[in-house]
A and B are shown apart, each in its own frame.
Chain A
Amino acid sequence: MQKLKTFSIGGVHPPENKLTDHMAIRDLPPPPQVAIPVSQHIGKPGQLQVERGTTVRVGTLLAKADGFISAAVHSSVSGTVKKIDSVIDSQGHRRQAVIIAVEGDEWEEGIDTSPELLEDISLDRGAIVTRIAEAGIVGAGGATFPTAVKFSIPEGRTIDTLIINGVECEPYLTADHRLMLENADELIVGTRLLMQAAGVARAFIGIESNKPDAIELLQERIRLKAGEGKIPEGFISVLALQQRYPQGGEKQLIQAATGREVPSGKLPLDVHCVVSNVSTTIAVYQAMQKNRPFVDRIVTVTGKALVAAGGGANLRVRIGTPLGAVIEAAGGVPDGTGKIIMGGPMTGRSVTSLEVPITKGSGGVIMIDRSEARRYAVGHCIRCSRCVGGCPMGLEPYLLEKLVQKERYEEAEALSIMDCIECGSCSYSCPANRPLLDWIRLGKGKVGELRRARMRGTT
């Protein structure tokens, strides 16, 4: 194997705890009731298309995209709309949601639910992007940015590299790992579709070296497809990456793959790259080849006590399924659980209720034992510089913390506080348990306010 690539600044090594990486994906049947928020993405909420009493099937449009940065939302079940209500989502926000009482499992006509692999792809760039938008696909890695927007490349701009993000650098999570193992061919077709959409002749699938089976399998399948003449030689290559958090951060991954640095405040587009997560790419395959909108996703349900007791799972879950039903299917909440996290342990949110619905960005549910869930007493900064050394953006978290505490936001801005990607490496590495990221996040909000005020001032 070639030398493992990685990013150049900072990074930490949290314990992996990939406890569920050997568990095959299981289908979780639709629950008796789902709550599907009309906003599961970054951007404007979708425009509601149904009302109380509407009969829906799997794939029925519930809300259509409203404006450019927005996304469509489809029903993940068949049944009757019981009401439109607000629910608390995994981020703690109240969101308008469609509550559906489930009856049977009827799919919209034209959706192909068979496992048959369809490899012949459309060559029309515009048609692919339109279909991605119609299918309501958003970044499933957690960022939930509408995928169609990412691939709507503005006039005059060019992309030369597509990077498929199979890094899954968050501890515990194994959803993308399982998908790469079980749906390698679909991933390759999805990659070809996105290459077509972006107009590129080069794609990398970036995978951390702790998933050698996925690396090997994808390399083998790509060789096979090249041998069959389905894809040109060197068209798609697997990129084995060093295990290092946050290797899966968009900017870090682009640098590891191409050596290019996304300039501060700019987008991957500015260095001619576009990045798409594994789950997202497979959703693109489903949308294009099988006419299947984004109605379900893979969720890793894990935790030390859960897996030790024989539980844990990688489940294919219908969007809108309550958290409680997902946990129940994987063995239930173990005794002594002190915290339930939706997402990964480095960037996910802890939830207060088991009613929270699974949404398009929910890749994992982690149950943490009470002994590991509490925060430790905060000590003095001993200037050990571990936060500085760990920051993948080259910032000085200890100093940003102090500046924000003293409300010196302009200075924090000058020290690039807005470049923070909120990966949590600083708080993770602090030996004094200082909540560095909490303060930095507060500071980013304040600097954002300042900037908006300045914009108003000049116009």
Chain B
Amino acid sequence: MSTEHLIVALPPHERSSVSISRIMWAVVLALVPTTVAGVFFYGIRPLVLTLVAVAFAVAVEHLVVRYLFRRETTSITDGSAVVTGMLLAFNVPASLPFWQIALGAVVAVGVGKMAFGGIGNNPFNPALVGRAFLLISFPVDMTTWPVPGAARLSLDLSAVTGATPLALVKDVGSAGLGQVDLPSYLDLFLGNIGGCIGEASALAVIIGGLFLVWRGFIPWQLPLVYLAGLAVVTGVAWVVNPGIYVDPLYHVLAGGAMLAAWFMVTDMTTSPMSLTGRIVFAGSAGVLTGVIRLFGGFPEGASYSILIMNALVPVIDRHIRPRTFGHGKSGGAA
């Protein structure tokens, strides 16, 4: 046999079948239950809104790679732009005008990701960059919430709106929580409440998140630590004054905490590299979320807390390193 066509390469010659695109498309699949829940509670509009966000996110990435980076290939097949589009759509009210979500997607991918060089190089979570941009630019539309089941087949959800569970408990003042009619834990868990598309159903988010844990793409510790951090801060406030502060379970189930815990805190590119570092990152983000919810200007703090922690990732990576074999005290003879 002729050997001139043999490939010569350094070891290892085996490669894991896990590729970037496999990870990203798994995340897309994990977001499907939340999409379904969104449609179930708010009708057809959230689905259309998500598709618009995804379409613009993908289009921007493609155009930037082709005409600004001048590359022959495109990177959109890796699925990461699809993830960003979906997460952005899940972080806005179902009633948001289409042109606004489109603009948000352009900023999320164009500024949040491609401006830094594309996949892997962005310091901040692109979807949250998009959401922060939308919240600052269109504060009214971004805080007007349709109520569940108002208009299942209509694209106009502006007729019946209500407050989110977190807005209900924000700054209740001296009158206390007694005067507000809070949703039940079951409604919070299932998603029968007002809020962003992906904030609604804690159950749907958990199903998707558990799928990613099972596939080995996210460590199970991160969502738990994030939610624990949130629960501790809100728990302390609740113990001190249960009259005006709602209990930690309510905080964990309400708002964007679940989506943040399973899909934002676990974002690979914008979190630290060592497991210990990632746990510190997640716990700190949880604490910050609670602090913003209790004492900040906004009823919800999930996205800002994560953006703040994103900025601290290089610091965490510098100071928290994995334990190196043979350097610890456990070395030496028994």
Q: Which residues of A contact B (CB under 8 A)?
A: 9, 12, 14-15, 171, 251, 255, 258-266, 270-272, 332-333, 337-341, 343, 345-354, 366, 368, 370, 373-376, 379-386, 388-389, 391-396, 398-399, 415-416, 419, 422, 424-425, 427-433, 435, 437-438, 441
Contact of A348 among B13, B20, B328, B333 (CB under 8 A): B13
In the complex, the answer to whether B333 meets A271 with C-beta atoms within 8 Å is yes
What is the distance, in angstroms, from B56's C-beta to the closest C-beta of chain A?
Answer: 22
For A376, give the chain B residue with the smallest CB separation.
B15
- On whether A396 and B322 interact (CB within 8 A), knowing A374-B7, A428-B14, the answer reads yes
Interface string of B314-334 (1 = CB under 8 A from A): 000000011111111011111
CB of B212, distance to nearest CB on chain A (Å): 12
> Is B278 an interface residue when CB atoms closer than 8 A count as contact?
yes
When distances are taken between beta carbons in the complex, the residues of chain B under 8 Å from A366 are: 13
Q: Which of B3, B14, B80, B325 contacts A9 (CB 8 A)?
A: B325
A346 touches B331 (CB 8 A): no
Chain A interface main SS type: loop
A428 lies within 8 A of B273 (CB):
no
Contact across chains for A395 and B331 when beta carbons are under 8 A apart: no
User: Once the chains are docked, how many angstroms separate the CA of A439 from the CA of B173?
Assistant: 60
User: Are B332 and A261 closer than 8 Å at their CB atoms?
Assistant: yes
- Could you list 23 examples of A-B contacts with CB < 8 Å? A14-B16, A255-B325, A271-B333, A338-B7, A345-B12, A353-B3, A379-B20, A379-B119, A380-B120, A382-B120, A383-B120, A383-B268, A385-B278, A386-B18, A394-B322, A396-B274, A415-B321, A419-B324, A419-B326, A424-B11, A427-B12, A428-B16, A432-B20
B8 at the A/B interface (Cβ < 8 Å)?
yes
Chain A residues lying within 8 Å of B271, measured Cβ to Cβ, are 383
Contacts of B323 in A (CB 8 A): 9, 394
Task: Flag if A264 contacts B10 (CB, 8 Å).
Answer: no
A351 vs B7: C-alpha distance in the bound complex, in angstroms?
8
Residues on A with C-beta less than 8 A from B179 are none
- With beta carbons under 8 angstroms apart, the residue of A346, A395, A432 that contacts B14 is A346
Contact assessment for A260 and B333 in the assembled complex, using a CB-CB cutoff below 8 Å: yes
Which among B6, B12, B272 is the interface contact of A428 at CB below 8 angstroms?
Answer: B12
Secondary structure dominating the interface of B: loop
Cα distance A398–B323 when bound, in Å?
16
A346 touches B6 (CB 8 A): no
Q: In the complex, what's the smallest C-beta–C-beta distance from B21 to chain A, in angstroms?
A: 8
Q: Pick the contact of B326: A251, A343, A428 (CB < 8 A).
A: A251
- Chain A residue numbers with a CB within 8 Å of B324 are 264, 393-395, 416, 419
Contact B273 A373 (CB under 8 A): no
B9 and A339 within 8 A (CB) = yes
Q: Closest 7 CB pairs between A and B?
A: A424-B12, A380-B120, A261-B331, A394-B324, A264-B326, A382-B120, A384-B268
Within the complex, the shortest CB–CB distance from A147 to chain B, in Å, comes to 23
A350 touches B8 (CB 8 A): yes
A441: min CB distance to chain B, Å:
7
**Are A271 and B20 neighbours in the complex by a CB distance under 8 Å?**
no
- With both beta carbons as reference points, the residue of chain B lying nearest to A258 in the complex is identified as B334
Q: Report chain B residues within 8 Å CB of A391.
A: 322
Q: How far is the CA of A387 from the CA of B101 in the complex (A)?
A: 36
Once the chains are docked, how many angstroms separate the CA of A346 from the CA of B271? Answer: 29
| Cβ–Cβ contact A339 & B7, under 8 A | yes
Closest to A272 in B: B333
